[in-house]
Amino acid sequence: MIEVLVQHAIPAIEGLHDLGGLGVALLGVVFIIATLACFPASALTAVAGFLYGPVWGMVLISPLGLLSAGTAFALARHIARPWVHQRVTKRPMLNAIDKAVAVQGFRVVFLLRLSSIVPFAPLSYSLGASQINARVFLSASWLGLMPGTFLYVYLGSLVPDLAQLMTGQSSLNLNSYWMSGLGLSAVMIALWAVARYARQMIHQSSDKEPSYEQAV
């Protein structure tokens, strides 16, 4: 079923390039809606690289990624905050992140974005219900997303056939190994940082921890 949908979507995606500015706008709308619905941002980022090349793909996706992250953050903070916060506290990893960002918000968010331990949209939603300042979230997210965004855009620009990109059958082994090594290193650093800061928060008295309603 998924393969059939992909095959039908390929001509429409390839046609975006021929639409000029309208195609860019349509891809932007699809990117925002899809990522807010928790569709993998990496796939759409690679598509942008395939359509527009590494430079213009990066120029397009970098602000779109930040806009999507900021929108999810705002939705969680101002509309669905109690609901999101309740679910974050039930998941050990997200709960540890919630406590960690209260101590070293910028560093933790930057490492999480760099490592992709938590998928793009779920992390944005969960941080919207956390204690982190919105400006810190946006700046750390923007910087942390840039390396991964460029890698996926660049890899997408190297794929000769969109069908290979959409089905994951591309054979860019050298780049994939390098990207995996970078991601693994970032994951290890992020896990260490999150665990360390979470332990610090756990050892603090609970009455000294600001509640999530007090976040800016």
The string of pLDDT tens digits covering residues 163-185 is 666 655 555 544 555 555 566 56
Q: What pLDDT is recorded for position 122?
A: 85
Selection from 94-108, 143-157, 202-216 with the highest mean pLDDT: 143-157
Q: Which residue, among 212, 216, 177, has the nearest Cα to 94 in the 3D structure?
A: 212
Query: At residue 215, does pLDDT exceed 60?
Result: no
The answer to whether the CB of 50 falls within 8 A of the CB of 56 is: no
More reliable by pLDDT, 187 or 45: 45
Task: Using a cut of 0.85, tell me whether the model's pTM lies above it.
Answer: no
Q: How many domains does the chain have?
A: 1
Q: What is the pLDDT of residues 112-147, one digit of tens each?
A: 887 777 788 888 988 888 888 899 999 999 998 988
Give one DSSP letter per residue of 91-105, joined into a string: SHHHHHHHHHHHHHH
Q: Residue 96 belongs to what domain range?
A: 2-214
